[in-house]
Structure 1
Amino acid sequence: MQVIDDYLINAETFIIEPIYGEFGQLFSKVHEERGSYIVKKKPINLIKESCLYYGAGYKGRLDSSIKATGFQKKVPICIFEGQKIFFFPLGSPNNDDSSWVAHYHVEKVTSIGPQLSYIYFMNRLKIEVPFSKAVIEGEVMRTAQLRFIMLKRWNEEN
C-alpha cells in the first residue's frame, strides 16, 4: 500500500481508519474509489486540515452541526458544502484513533457479532469495525438528518 505524507478528503473518500506504524506512531488508512493509502497523519488531523482547505475550521463546522441538530456527542460534520461531503465519527471524535466515515458512500451495515459489524460501501468495499450495527446505523441516520437540514438551508438561499 502506498504511503503518503498528506491527503485531502474529497468526494471519492470512503473511510479514514486509524492504523499504527511499526514504532507506535498513529497514521491514517484512507480508502477511496481509486484505492487505499497510508497517510502519515492522524485521522482527526486529516479531517481538520480538509475542513480548513475547504474554507472553514473544524471547530466552526462542528459548532454549526451542533447548532443545526442539537447533537452533543459523536457529532457529524460537513467537510465541504460545495461537494456535499459529510463525515461521521465512529467513537468519540476527541479520540485520536477514531475512524471517520463518509455518509454518502455507505450502502449498508451488517452485524457479524455483538460489537462487530461490516460497513459496505458503494464500490463494494467492505470494512470491519468494532461497533454494533445499531450504533453505526444510528450514526448514519444522524448524519442524514444533518445533511437534510443543511441542504434545505443551502437551497433556501437560492
Structure 2
Amino acid sequence: MENERLIIEEYEINSSTAIVMPMEYGTKIFSRVYELEEETISPFKPFDLVKESCYGFGSNYEGRKAATKKLIGATHKVPIAISPLIYLFPTASPENPQCAWVAHDHVLDYKKGKINGTTIVKFQNNRYILLHISTRSFENQLIRTMMLKSKLSKNDDELIPRAVYANKLRKQRAAAEDSEQYSW
C-alpha cells in the first residue's frame, strides 16, 4: 500500500536525481528513484527513464551514447550526459533488467560490500545504497563519467573564447566601417 502512494506516472531525471534502481513490482520491473530529498517509484524501467530523459533535454539516447563512445573510447556500459549538468552511468549493461543508473555528481564515497561483487555507495544526502557491482567496476564507471564530463566541459570552455573573439572582431569591423563611411 505504501508503494502505491509513491508511484508517479511521469518522471524526468533531473539535477536532484541520485540513483535510478530497478525494482520488482509484481511481475514487472519498475524504477525506484532516489533524489536528494525524496524517493519515488516510476512504472517504467530505469533504462526507459534514461532514454526519455535524453529526449527531454533535446537529444536521444543513441546519439548521446555514440558521442560518448567517440569522446572517451568506451565500448560498453557507457556513461550518458543526460544534459550538460546531469551525468549518469550504468552498473551493468543497460538492457540488463538489474542495471541501475548512478548520478556521478551525487556520489560522496563508496566501499567494497561484505558480499562479493557488491559496493556500498554513500550519496551526498548521507544515504547508503548497496549496489550489485564490484568496487573496481564502480571505480571504472566513475572514472569514465569524469572523463566524459571533462571532455564535454573542455569543449564548452573552448567555445567561450571563440565567441568572445568573434564578437570582438565584429565590433572592430563595425567601427572600421563607420569610420570609412564618414571619412570623405
- TM (normalized to structure 2)? 0.82
Q: Counterparts of 1:129 and 1:78 in 2: how far apart (Å)?
A: 21
Matched with 1:4 is: 8
2:89 is the alignment partner of 1:88: yes
Q: Which moved more, 1:12-21 or 1:125-134?
A: 125-134
Cα deviation for residue 17 of structure 1 reads 0.2
The residue number in structure 2 matching 1:120 is: 122
Equivalent-residue separation in structure 2 for 1:12 and 1:60 (angstroms): 24
Larger radius of gyration: 2
Choose from 21, 24, 27 the match for 1:17. Answer: 21
Q: What does the per-residue CA deviation read over 1:115-140, in whole Å, with 9 as the maximum and x for residues that have no partner?
A: 11101111101100111211111110
> Whose relative contact order is higher, 1 or 2, with alpha carbons under 8 Å and at least 6 apart?
1
Query: Which among 26, 31, 49 is matched to residue 28 of structure 1?
Result: 31
Q: How many residues align?
A: 155
1:111 and 2:115 correspond: no
Q: Partner of 1:157: helix, strand, or coil? A: helix
> 2:130, 2:98 → 1: CA distance?
15
Kindly indicate whether residue 66 of structure 2 is the aligned counterpart of residue 63 of structure 1.
Answer: yes
Task: Report the CA distance between 1:36 and its aligned residue.
Answer: 0.5
Flag structure 2 segments of 5+ consecutive residues without an equivalent: 161-184
Post-superposition Cα deviations, 1:62-94, rounded to whole Å, max 9, x if no partner, equal 11100101100110010011xx10000000012
TM-score (norm 1): 0.95
Cα RMSD (Å): 1.0
Gaps of 5+ in 1: none
Check the 8 A contact 1:18/1:99 in 2, yes or no.
yes
